[in-house]
């Protein structure tokens, strides 16, 4: 009966297998694949002083690396206050080079110096007459490997609690971002992107081991949704999810919830923190992914006869071949 479900057609094009992680270790004259590594989540206090924020982030990244982290994640909008008034003032032209973008220049320098992979949270990016909420990913060689512009902008209006319209200043990104790094294949989302399961499903179908969501959930949505969404995205797609938030500043115009977290493929919270500044060091073990998918074989149980996820960009590329 299961064969009639046509699970292979539940994702179009068909899902890619999770690739063998790129991490390797030399043992004598042989190289073997290793599946475990440490991730560092740097929950940072953000101030109006941009130079201070950059220096502070550099220090936190170095501390995480000293504690063994091979992948370090920063928060959403870590170089600027989170406000529509601040975004244009603190924005940097990433494509124009290091002089025009001191925040990403620091990330490039530190990643190459420490030989680590950095998911650089996000900063306001200026490109022509547009602003984007942008995450840059740097490899162990210090080079920019990918750039994700926040796809789903945070526009919310809850009377008596919170109104914020990110679209007043930012333009939506147009492209899902998945990148092969020395610590595996990583999908990238920013904050409100986590609310949309379709994006996570696309990353899973493209073979992601891990999805990183730099985010700044607030005191309204944080208590009810922050952990719930992380665990849902991880359990539904049977992969790791890592989030990194700014530390809470009760005097700020926009107050972050905090609680940076690593969630495993069983939907289990592996490590988390409260709302103050902190650096989480936790272990990721990719061998668990296959274990999870074997024990609960969702890929074989999807009802391709009833529903389908269409990855538009992969489909377009497939049709051009």
Characterize 64-79 residue by residue with b for buried, 16 or more Cβ atoms within 10 angstroms of its Cβ, and e for exposed.
bbeeebbbbbbbbbbb
Task: Assign 219 to helix, strand or coil.
Answer: coil
Residue whose C-alpha is closest to residue 150's, from 177, 129, 184, 130: 177
Catalytic residue (choose from 42, 50, 150, 166): 150
How many Cβ atoms sit within 10 Å of the Cβ of residue 226? 24
Catalytic residue (choose from 50, 76, 145, 212): 76
Residue whose C-alpha is closest to residue 167's, from 178, 152, 182: 152
Catalytic residue (choose from 191, 212, 227, 244): 191
Strand ranges for the chain from DSSP E: 11-12, 24-27, 30-33, 36-43, 69-73, 117-119, 123-127, 130-138, 144-149, 155-158, 162-165, 177-181, 184-188, 210-214, 240-244, 261-263, 269-272, 278-285, 309-310
Active site residue 191: yes
Measured CA to CA, the distance from residue 152 to residue 175 in angstroms comes to 11
Measured CA to CA, the distance from residue 136 to residue 39 in angstroms comes to 17
Catalytic residues, by residue number, are: 76, 150, 191
């Amino acid at each position: 009966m299961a064969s009639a479900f046509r699970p292979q057609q539940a994702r179009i094009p068909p899902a890619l297998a999770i690739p063998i992680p790129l991490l390797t270790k030399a043992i004598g004259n042989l190289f073997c694949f290793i599946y475990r590594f440490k991730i560092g989540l740097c929950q940072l206090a953000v101030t109006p002083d941009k130079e201070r924020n950059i220096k502070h982030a550099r220090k936190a990244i170095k501390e995480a690396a000293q504690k063994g982290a091979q992948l370090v994640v920063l928060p959403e909008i870590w170089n600027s206050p989170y406000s529509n008034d601040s975004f244009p003032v603190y924005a940097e032209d990433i494509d124009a080079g290091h002089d025009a973008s001191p925040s990403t220049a620091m990330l490039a320098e530190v990643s190459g110096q420490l030989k680590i992979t950095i998911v650089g949270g996000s900063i306001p990016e200026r490109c022509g007459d547009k602003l984007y909420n942008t995450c840059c990913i740097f490899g162990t060689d210090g080079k920019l490997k990918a750039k994700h512009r926040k796809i789903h902008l945070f526009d919310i209006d809850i009377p008596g609690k919170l109104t914020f319209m990110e679209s007043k200043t930012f333009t939506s990104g147009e492209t899902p971002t998945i990148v092969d790094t020395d610590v595996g294949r990583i999908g990238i989302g920013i904050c409100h992107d986590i609310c949309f399961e379709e994006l996570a499903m696309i990353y899973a179908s493209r073979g992601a081991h891990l999805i990183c969501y730099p985010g700044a959930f607030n005191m309204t949505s944080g208590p009810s949704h922050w952990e719930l969404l992380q665990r849902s995205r991880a359990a539904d797609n049977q992969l790791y999810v890592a989030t990194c938030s700014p530390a809470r500043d009760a005097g700020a115009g926009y107050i972050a919830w905090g609680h940076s977290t690593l969630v495993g493929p069983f939907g289990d919270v592996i490590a988390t923190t409260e709302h103050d500044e902190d650096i989480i060091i936790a272990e990721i073990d990719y061998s668990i992914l296959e274990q999870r998918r074997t024990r609960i074989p969702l890929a074989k149980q999807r009802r391709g006869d009833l529903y389908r996820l269409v990855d538009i960009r992969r489909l377009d590329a497939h049709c051009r071949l």
